[in-house]
Structure 1
Amino acid sequence: MVGGIQPAPAPGRAPPAGEPQPVGRDLPKDKHVVHAPESQADVWWGPVNHPIDDHTFLLNRQRAVDYLNTRDQIYVCDGYAGWDPATRIKVRVLCARAYHALYMHNMLIRPTLDELERFGEPDYVIYNAGQFPANPLTAQMTSRTSVDLSIERREQVILGTEYAGEMKKGVFTYMHWLLPGRGILSMHCSANEGRPAGGGAGDVSLFFGLSGTGKTTLSADPARRLIGDDEHGWGDDGIFNVEGGCYAKCIHLSERQEPEIWRAIRFGTVLENVVYDPTTRAVDYESSAITENTRAAYPIEYIDNAKVPCVAGHPRNVIFLTCDASGVLPPVSRLSREQAMYHFLSGYTARVAGTEMGIVEPQVAFSACFSAAFLVRHPA
């Protein structure tokens, strides 16, 4: 359920998220995983997964709950993560901003009214008090921003950042823990499939890449059916999307170049970091005055040729999208199986401007499995 959301734009227009807001994911040093006996041996500790103890997590959770309890109104959003009924989880988001609730309503798989009535207790809970800062004097805190995950408690706490993508990636991070434990490969990729009418049924392609490298754009092909644009699992029966929506970059967006995404920006879509005329609400997609990381979050059903339910067979093609900041790779390379394994594990690419706080120019990166920022388990 999403209660009390009242979008302001005229019918047919998407509501831009209000200012102020961060423009990208927060620094890795502000992200923490609870160091607990049950999971500590299996967590990939390092520059992404910083340990905190359970006591500090509970202090931050109480801080978030106390803040939410001071609000005149809070929003509760229930949804699912994972289109595979055997592995999907129930997610509950508690937040103080309608923008955050609508964003997660778009990004999670939306329950039917019957499913909502029978939803019961969630498998994963997000406490988003992003408008309220963490206490930097608390042990193991590095700033006024803290994004904390407890695997054992199946909870995420957000303090000091209003970037909605932290919720989406928090769910994905937990699925990166959960799915491999069930023998399923969790993947930071987009996916599409050929149309049955053209003999393309079963012709599934995966597009791996860091944020901003083109996964959403390339998978939104009008000649193929979209399965998902960012997060997937690959099990014994094939692949499935984790999400119920898409999170598209819209810098320089035009109807001619990206018609599928252009048509998806309508009433109910959330626009982030965009410049727009406050009188006409016309969006200037050419402007990067706030950041290059302008975004649109919309339900996957807003793509005309989406395949719902978002499941498919085993992929025939796997494509790695590399933002080659050094110019050392040819434009297109066909890899052997051994080369593909090497490049998948090394993940040579670049971090794109605006996708993370402090990134203003492409920076060379080696991101294991093209998803090191979200991996809880070691990639090997």
Structure 2
Amino acid sequence: MEIESFRGLLTDEGQGLLARLREYNPGEELALATRLRRDHPAELVSAALGQARLRQRARAKFGGEADRMYFTPDGVEQATRTAVAEWRARRFAELGVARLADLCCGVGGDAVALARAGISVLAVDRSPLACAVAEANARALGLAELIEVRCADVAEVDLAGFDAVFTDPARRGARGRIFDPEAYSPPLSWAVAAGRRSRYAALKIAPGVPHEAVPEDAEAEWVSDGGDVKEAVLWFGTEAAQPHRATLLPGGHTLTGGRLADPPAGPVRRHLYEPDGAVIRAHLVAEVAELVGGTLIDPTIAYLTSDALVRTPYATAYEITDTLPFNVKRLRALLRQRGVGTVVVKKRGSAVEPEELRRKLKPEGPHSCTVFLTRVAGAPTMLLGHPV
């Protein structure tokens, strides 16, 4: 999308087109485009249809508010979902931050959440189109007085006078995802240095970052939303007592730690606990083991087992009915005997693909079962049970 095409959407004619496309149906796009081009310039119609498609994709992250916002293809892909941005903004607000520099702001999703938390934001990006979109979003959501957008190289921005800095480096290039942190734009080392110069700072990084790459003076937080790990953030200035944090949304449940030794491994007991992905990424499985009185089923597998049933938001509990060596024929016979027609297959430490196994099982019946394909004491094992 060119910036002039985007600005056309902000005119009265462009706004009228976007209003007509609010209930846009992709299956009717060709016929719709033909009708609209009878009354409007073809370039404007193309821009409006493109924006309608982006808004539909953005609903997964922004909900119904996406219909009032503006996006770019990269912006939809890389923007922080609302729940996660609101959590981070709340943390900044609780630290007493009043003025913040949002570096690499993209379409402004984080700036919006920060402004709604009462924080004055300078949103910076080097892309003129991203800046135009961020500015339009601030106006559309009534936050223009709290969000100033500046098109600049973030390395040239004077950060004096800000209480905090939030940096979200570009982690995608022309060839896709970038795995080397020093190939981020800006590089991780620059963003860390900028964070250390600020009173408070948060630096968004890929969830799969190696723990050895986390600076010793940073608090590392992994955030999941609805069970899916969405991001990792390095915090500076929080003076956290524990180096690692796992935050589970919705709910804002937070587990801290990172100093406990790995729990021992032992036999499978009555209950199996599947830790949330953020807990696993943060290396806090030992903390959950302590909460539930559990042990690992295998030294290399992040499943915990315990005789006790302990309610915790940090892991899903299952009652285990069978612990058997892996054998497809035996499993199929057992499920048929019990009238199991719905099978949820989970795997950790197994090469078997769940969909392939389901096809082989051909389950039938009114009952349901969860099957775990894993290793116990190094041996391929299948565990049968159900969530409790």
- Higher relative contact order structure (alpha carbons within 8 Å, sequence separation ≥ 6): 1
Bigger fraction of residues in helix: 2
Please give the TM-score of this superposition, normalised by the length of structure 1: 0.24
* Higher gyration radius (CA): 2
